[in-house]
Amino acid sequence: MIMKRTIGLGCALLGAIGLTTAADAAEQITFVSQGGAYQQAQTVAILDPSAKKLGITINQDSIPDAWPAIKTQVGSGKPIWDVVDTPTGYCLRGGEQGLIEKLDFSKIPNAAAMPEAYRSPYSVSYEFYSSVLAYSQKTFPKDAPNSWADFWDVKKFPGRRALRNHPIATLEAALMADGVAPDKLYPLDVDRAFKKLEEIKPHITVWWTSGAQSAQLLNDGEIDMEMAWNGRVSAVAKEGAKVAFTYNQGILQSTSLCILKGAPNLETAVKFLNEAVDPVHQANLPLHIDYGPGNPKAFETGVIKPERAAQLPSEPANAAKQALMSYAWWSSPAGEAAEKRWASFMQK
C-alpha cells in the first residue's frame, strides 16, 4: 500500500528511496493524509521540500477516514504510521483516549509561534477550509443571500435549499441565523440551535452527505443556495457554473497534524511536524489547491499574491468574518451528545 501510493504520488520520491535506501534507513517517517488532489498538492508544496530540507524520507499513505485505523494501529501496540493529517477533532479525541502523542512545543518552534487557537496539546493546524453559504448567481444575480439569517429568510430569498446532513458546522450556522455572534458561539446552545433548525427544515430540499453531492446539486441547479465547503464551490465555479459564495459567517474548519502514540520514528516525526508548518512551505500549499495555510504567518511571506490570498478561507481579513470551529467543544461530552441528537432530528 505504501509503495503503491508512493509510485502514484511522485517518481522523484520513489527514485530517492531506490537510490539511497541504506543511507535513509535511519531517518524516515510514514505520513498519512486523505489522498487525491489534496495529497498531491501537499507533496509538491510541503512534503517533498520538507524531506529535502531535513534529509529524510517521507513514505506516504492515504486513507479517507484515518480514525478507525489510528484506533486499531495504536491498539495493536505496534503502529506503522507516524504523522497523520486528519480533521482536528480526531487529534483531540485521540489525545484524550491515549492514542495520540502529547506535543512538546519547545521542539516545534514554528507551531509555538502560531496563535493558541490554532493548536492543541496534541495537534497543530495544517490547513483550513470553510463551510460557507453558496448560491446560484442565476437565481440571485444581485442581492444574493449574505448571512445565515438570509438563508433562513425564505420570504426574502425564495428558492430551494440544501444543508449538510451532519451537525458539525450546521448547528453553528443555525445559531448565527438566530443572532449569535460568530465569536460567541461556544459552548453551543444546542437546544436553541435545533429549535432554529426545525424552522428551516421544511424548506430544505436535500440534506447532502458527501462533498461531491453538494457540488453536483449546485452545478445542476438542483438547489438555489446551500452550505458547502469553499473548495467545492470554487471548483464548480471554475467549470463555468454561475455560482458564488460568501465568507461572511463561514465556519472555519481545519485538519491538523498529530503523531500516533508510540510512533516508530517519533523524533523524526516531531522534526517533520515543525518543518511541515514552516510559513514558506505552508504558503506554497494554496498555490496548488483551494485550501488556506494552517499557519497564518504564511500570509506574511510574500509567496501568496494578495489577489490569491483574498480567495483563501484563512486569510486574516476573511478569517475575521468567520467563526473558528471549536473542536474542543465538539469532542467534549456535550458535543458528542449533540452529534447523537442529530439522528432523531433528521428522522422526526
Partner 1 sequence: MLALVSPALLVILALIVLPVGWLAWQSVYHDGFTLENYRRVFTEDVYWRSFALTFEISLAVTGIALLLGYPVAYLANSVPKGWSILILSLVVLPFWTSVLVRAYAWLALLQRTGVINQFLRYLDVISEPLALVHNTFGTVVATVHILLPFMVLPLYATMQKIPGDLMQAGASLGASPSLTFFRVFLPLSLPGVLAGCTMVFVLCLGFYITPELLGGGRTVMVSMLVSRNVELYNQFGAASAVAVVLLLSVLLIFFAVSRFISLDRVLGQK
Query: Under the rule (CB under 8 A), what is the footprint of partner 1?
Result: 67-68, 71, 160, 165, 205-209, 213, 220-222, 339-340, 343-344, 346-347
Q: Is the dihedral of CA 149, 152, 158, 160 positive or negative?
A: positive
Question: Measured from the CB atom, is 189 or 222 closer to partner 1?
Answer: 222
Closest separation in Å from C-beta 289 to partner 1: 26
Task: Look up residue 227 and give its three cell numbers.
Answer: 452550505
Nearer to partner 1, 10 or 221 (CB): 221
Computed over its alpha carbons, how large is the radius of gyration of the chain? 21
Nearer to partner 1 (CB atom), residue 71 or residue 288: 71
Closer by beta carbon to partner 1, 6 or else 213: 213
Show the beta-strand stretches assigned E in the chain.
28-33, 57-62, 83-87, 119-120, 123-136, 161-164, 204-208, 225-229, 243-259, 292-293, 323-324
User: Closest approach of Cβ 165 to partner 1, in Å?
Assistant: 4
Query: 335 to each of 108, 189, 275, how far by Cα in Å?
Result: 30, 11, 32
Q: Which of 71, 192 has the CB closer to partner 1?
A: 71
Shortest Cβ 155–partner 1 spacing (Å): 17
Looking at residue 117, its amino acid is: A
User: What type of residue is 92?
Assistant: L
C-alpha cell at 123: 495537534
The rounded distance, in Å, linking the Cα atoms of 281 and 56 is: 16
Q: Closest approach of Cβ 205 to partner 1, in Å?
A: 6
Calpha distance 48→64 (Å, rounded): 21
Rounded Cα gap, residues 129 and 312, in angstroms: 8
What minimum distance in Å lies between the beta carbon of 71 and partner 1?
A: 8
Least distance CB 65 / partner 1 (angstroms):
8
Over the range 164-186, which residues count as b (16 or more CB within 10 Å of their CB) and which as e? bebbbbbbbbbbbbbebebeebb
Pairwise CA distance, residues 95 & 248, whole Å: 32
Nearer to partner 1 (CB atom), residue 122 or residue 291:
122
Select 49 or 221, whichever has its Cβ closest to partner 1. 221
Q: How far is the CB of 136 from partner 1 (least distance, A)?
A: 11
